[in-house]
Each structure stands twice: as structure tokens, then as C-alpha cells.
């Protein structure tokens, strides 16, 4: 069957252009640019790459960007001190703690020290609780990007059977909640789920967020399904998604590519969350 691409790069670029224009207008009004601070502990190459991408995106969006890079031997208390200083900084509207943290640090505890009003990653318990309740708050960027991408292409969600593979607090769980709040019927599969293909073959919308190359094969996907690949991994320097794209595309009505699908949407939603935090501060 003929498939169509869920083009995250296109949607992301359109979103970032709107954000840049609004950021410039608001900066002219208030005299302060939207500010995003990134705290990076250690020198993990993948984390460094992501941070560089976020810095470039901030500059293009007319944001103020601040990178605080700490040695991997920095104590957890010192990292928290940095976060608490940023909480008090009126030029910083969003704080992002780049994960993973070095061994021995409690990611959940350190994240809890970020002010909920500046938690643009949406990981604080208050923002997670708002998502659970269906109330307004910051939504984790990747799940928010997935939902935005689906809606951009006018794909109906209400009443659809959705299967999410992966139960992380960063993607899987919040993605399931978001789509549940859109009146879908949601099933979350994970490493302990038996016979995963029995669930995936019934999915109208299939979202995979595991990080296992080509986990999803053609025979696991219903004809006409919408397939969203939110899992990436590198093998011998090459980027792979969870979905075996070349084969699965023949069963899909819509499908995300890797790269160029969910990834660009994540950064766009980070900028959008930061702009929202800025507007709450100044309005």
C-alpha cells in the first residue's frame, strides 16, 4: 500500500519559525529574551551532541542560551546548587538537565530541584501529575512532539487503538497518557509483555520508544496503521530506529522516518515549552 511520511523535519521547521518570530516580538516588548539553561555533567559524546543541537536551535529562535558544563566528578550537591541558582535567575525561563547523569547521582531527585515553572522537560512530579490529571503543565518534549506531528496531518486519534512500546518516564508513559487524554484506547507494552506482536498487529497507531534497532517488523504491523518511531540507537556509527522502515512502510498509511521524524519535533517542543515559561513569567 502507498504510505505517507510524517515529516517531523518539515513540521519542526515551521514551528521553530513561528517561535522565532514570537520570541523577537516579545523581546522587543519586554527587553528580555527567552532564556534556556542546559546543565551538562560529564563529557558523554552523545549528550554533548544533543546539547550543541539545542544551543544552535536557541540561537536561531532568538533565545538566550546558557550552557553550564560540569566535570563528571562534580558532587550531586554541587549540581543541585547550580540548579537552585538558575531557579533564581530572572534571565533563565527554562532549565534542562541533560541525561544521563554520571553513576551515583539520583536523576529523579536532582530533577525534582528544578522549579516546576522552569521544568521545560516536563519531568518534575508536579508537571507529571498535571499530565496524569489532564491539567495544564509542561509536557515532556518527545511525547508532545509525537502528538503534534499526528495532529498536524489531521490524523484522527479519538476511538483509535493505540499501542505504545516502552514505559519510560521520558517517552512511553507520557505518550500513553497524552493519547489517552485524546480519547484513544491505549495499551502499553514493555520488556515483560508476552507476545508483543499480538498487541501491535491490532494497533491503529503504533508508537515504539525502546531503542532497539529494527525491533518492529512488517508482520507486526496492521495494514493501514500509523507508525511512529521514537526509538533510536547507533550501531557502528549509523543511526537506526526501532522500526524496520523499508519493510514496514509497505503496511503503513503514515510512518515517521529516522532521522527526520520524531527527533526534530523534540527540539521544537523544547523551544515551545521555554517560550511558554517565558510568557508566564512576563504576562
Given the residues 16, 98, 119, 173, select the one marked as catalytic: 98
For the chain, what percentages of helix, strand and coil (3-state, to nearest 5) are there? 45, 20, 35
Q: Establish whether 24 is a catalytic residue.
A: no
The Cα–Cα gap between 66 and 55 comes to 8
Q: Establish whether 98 is a catalytic residue.
A: yes
3-state secondary structure of 174: helix
Q: Establish whether 54 is a catalytic residue.
A: yes
Given the residues 16, 118, 119, 121, select the one marked as catalytic: 121
**Ordered alpha helix ranges (H), 189-283:** 196-200, 245-248, 262-282
Q: Distances in Å between the alpha carbon of 253 and those of 6, 8, 149, 262? A: 10, 16, 14, 17
Q: CA angle 91-92-96, nearest 5°?
A: 165
Report the interhelical angle of 141-152 vs 172-181 (nearest 10°).
Answer: 40
Q: Which active-site residues does the annotation give?
A: 54, 98, 121
Amino acid at each position: 500500500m502507498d504510505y505517507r511520511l510524517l515529516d517531523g523535519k518539515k513540521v519542526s521547521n515551521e514551528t521553530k519559525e513561528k517561535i522565532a518570530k514570537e520570541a523577537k516580538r516579545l523581546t522587543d516588548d519586554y527587553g528580555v529574551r527567552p532564556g534556556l539553561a542546559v546543565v551538562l555533567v560529564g563529557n558523554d559524546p552523545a549528550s554533548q551532541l544533543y546539547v550543541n543541537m539545542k544551543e544552535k536551535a536557541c540561537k536561531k529562535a532568538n533565545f538566550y542560551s546558557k550552557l553550564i558544563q560540569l566535570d563528571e566528578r562534580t558532587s550531586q550537591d554541587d549540581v543541585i546548587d547550580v540548579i537552585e541558582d538558575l531557579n533564581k535567575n530572572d534571565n533563565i525561563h527554562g532549565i534542562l538537565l541533560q541525561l544521563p547523569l554520571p553513576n551515583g547521582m539520583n536523576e529523579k531527585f536532582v530533577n525534582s530541584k528544578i522549579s516546576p515553572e522552569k521544568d521545560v522537560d516536563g519531568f518534575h512530579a508536579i508537571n507529571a501529575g498535571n499530565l496524569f490529571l489532564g491539567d495544564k503543565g509542561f509536557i515532556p518534549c518527545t511525547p508532545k512532539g509525537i502528538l503534534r506531528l499526528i495532529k498536524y496531518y489531521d490524523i484522527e486519534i479519538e476511538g483509535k487503538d493505540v499501542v505504545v512500546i516502552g514505559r519510560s518516564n521520558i517517552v512511553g508513559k507520557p505518550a500513553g497518557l497524552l493519547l489517552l487524554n485524546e480519547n484513544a484506547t491505549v495499551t502499553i507494552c514493555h520488556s515483560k509483555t508476552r507476545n508483543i506482536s499480538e498487541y501491535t498487529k491490532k494497533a491503529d497507531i503504533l508508537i515504539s520508544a525502546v531503542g532497539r534497532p529494527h525491533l518492529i517488523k512488517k508482520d507486526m504491523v496492521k495494514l493501514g496503521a500509523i507508525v511512529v518511531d521514537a526509538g533510536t540507537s547507533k550501531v557502528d556509527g549509523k543511526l537506526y530506529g526501532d522500526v524496520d522502515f523499508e519493510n514496514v512502510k509497505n503496511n503503513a498509511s503514515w510512518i515517521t522516518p529516522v532521522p527526520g521524524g520524531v527527533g526534530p519535533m523534540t527540539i521544537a517542543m523544547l523551544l515551545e515549552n521555554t517560550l511558554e515559561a517565558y510568557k508566564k513569567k512576563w504576562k
